[in-house]
Amino acid sequence: MEKDFSLRELNTFGFDVKAKYFQELKTPDDVRLLLENNIFRQCFDGDRVLILSGGSNVLFRNDVYDGFVVYPNFKGVETIEDTGNQKIIRCFGGEVWKDFVDFTVAEKLYGLENLSDIPGKVGAAPVQNIGAYGAEVKDVIYQVHTIDLTSGKTKVFTNEECKFSYRSSVFKELKVKRGELRERGFYPLIFAVDFVLKKNGELKLDYGNIRNNLISKNITNPTIQDIADSVKEIRKEKLPEVGVVGSAGSFFQNAIISMDKYLKLKALYPEMPSYPVNGQEVKVPTGWLIDKAGWKGYRENHVGVWDKQALVLVHYGSGKPLEIIELMEKIQHSVKEKFGIGISPEVNIIC
């Protein structure tokens, strides 16, 4: 166990936050020892434990996390089942997500190519049901292996038990709302994920600029590798590079509004993009709302709004987490004033 451990390398915002206690877990034995550790138990009972993987979806609110950071770093990739047209691949949670995707693409296994180059680790992917370019990880997750930090017992969650939805799952609920698992005294740490991937699948080209990117390269009959390459190129153009400019990707969730509200806004802003959710609700890209409210490219001291994608808040270095929090609040206020829409962070804000 480390004390006063700097998390600068473990949060992609790049803030120099210190964890009062920090423990890396590499083997099941490490988990057993952790659960016997009195300091861990005290922090756990006081709700001062944070599971941290790549730190690409967290914002620490303060300069010190006054609690216990658990850093799962289990490694390994193995084929569990190989039948006819599909393979079930188990990937341990400490593997880097984009390396795992590259591996599946090189193996010509379909399902993860549109999720290329998302930062973070495999163990965190189910938590917010990561998604990009028309794909969501829930569509290829077979099951999720967890260890309960309360009892040390293992539990496998089937896809259905994960209760996946847009940027959410039972694991995220647990953290955000002290949800049902916590109430039942269950605190799952994800140590491995099983993916079911097809040997022959359909490619998803109709989202974002994938098709245009392929046309610009004269690719008429794309392979899975072509899709992965296009997604990587498009992402590079739009998003800040991890390790160069601090961010956590999309800072806010897209807004889901009632049909009534949508129709009123559409009359005022005919160009407003939207996607139907169901008969009563419509999804509006929050990036568009923030851009329209005049924030794109805005900079204040060490933080700002990314000039190529207004959904991304950035830290240019030497700043404090509170600067991002203040900027977030100003943007929320401004979007509420202009459109009457409340926008919520997608990033996990850690107090």
Ligand X SMILES: Cc1cc2nc3c(=O)[nH]c(=O)nc-3n(C[C@H](O)[C@H](O)[C@H](O)COP(=O)(O)OP(=O)(O)OC[C@H]3O[C@@H](n4cnc5c(N)ncnc54)[C@H](O)[C@@H]3O)c2cc1C
Site string for ligand X, 157-176 (x = CB under 6 A): --------------x---x-
| Among 18, 121, 145, 296, interactor with ligand X by CB under 6 A | 121
Active site residue 136: no
Q: Which phi and psi angles does 204 have, rounded to 5°?
A: -100, 110
Identify which range of 17-25, 239-247, 298-306, 327-335 contacts ligand X by CB under 6 A.
239-247
| Among 230, 247, 253, 309, interactor with ligand X by CB under 6 A | 247
Sorted by sequence, the CB contacts under 8 Å of residue 262 that are 6+ apart come out as 274, 282, 284
Question: To the nearest whole angstrom, how small is the minimum distance from the Cβ of residue 97 to ligand X?
Answer: 6
239 binds ligand X (CB under 6 A): yes
Question: Can you tell me the distance from the alpha carbon of 87 to that of 255, in angstroms, rounded to the nearest whole number?
Answer: 36
Do the Cβ atoms of 199 and 109 come closer than 8 Å? yes
Site string for ligand X, 36-75 (x = CB under 6 A): --------------xxxxxxxxx-------------x---
Question: To the nearest whole angstrom, how small is the minimum distance from the Cβ of residue 220 to ligand X?
Answer: 27
Sorted by sequence, the CB contacts under 8 Å of residue 297 that are 6+ apart come out as 304, 305, 306, 307
Q: Which is nearer to ligand X, 243 or 273 (by Cβ)?
A: 243
Do the Cβ atoms of 108 and 89 come closer than 8 Å? no
Active site residue 346: yes
| Among 114, 116, 128, 253, interactor with ligand X by CB under 6 A | 128
- DSSP string over 267-333: HH-TT---EE-SSSEEEE-HHHHHHHTT-TT-EETTEEE-TT-TTEEEE-SS--HHHHHHHHHHHHH
Q: Which of these is catalytic: 8, 167, 182, 235?
A: 167
> How many other CB atoms are found less than 10 A from the CB of residue 220?
7
Active site residue 250: yes
Count of positions on this chain that bind ligand X (CB under 6 A): 35
Question: To the nearest whole angstrom, how small is the minimum distance from the Cβ of residue 175 to ligand X?
Answer: 5
Structure-token match 């802003």, residue found: 269
Question: Can you tell me the distance from the alpha carbon of 214 to that of 130, in angstroms, rounded to the nearest whole number?
Answer: 24
Identify which range of 40-48, 83-91, 246-254, 321-329 contacts ligand X by CB under 6 A.
246-254
Helix 224-238 vs helix 97-106: crossing angle, to nearest 10: 150
Q: DSSP assignment, residue 222?
A: -
User: What does the block give as tokens for 128?
Assistant: 């917010």
Q: Shortest Cβ contact with ligand X: which residue?
A: 120
Footprint of ligand X on residues 294-333 (CB under 6 A)? none
Q: Which is nearer to ligand X, 69 or 331 (by Cβ)?
A: 69
Sites of contact with ligand X (CB under 6 A): 12, 50-58, 72, 93, 118-121, 123-125, 127-128, 130-132, 171, 175, 189-190, 239-240, 242, 247-249, 348
Which positions are annotated as active-site residues? 167, 250, 346
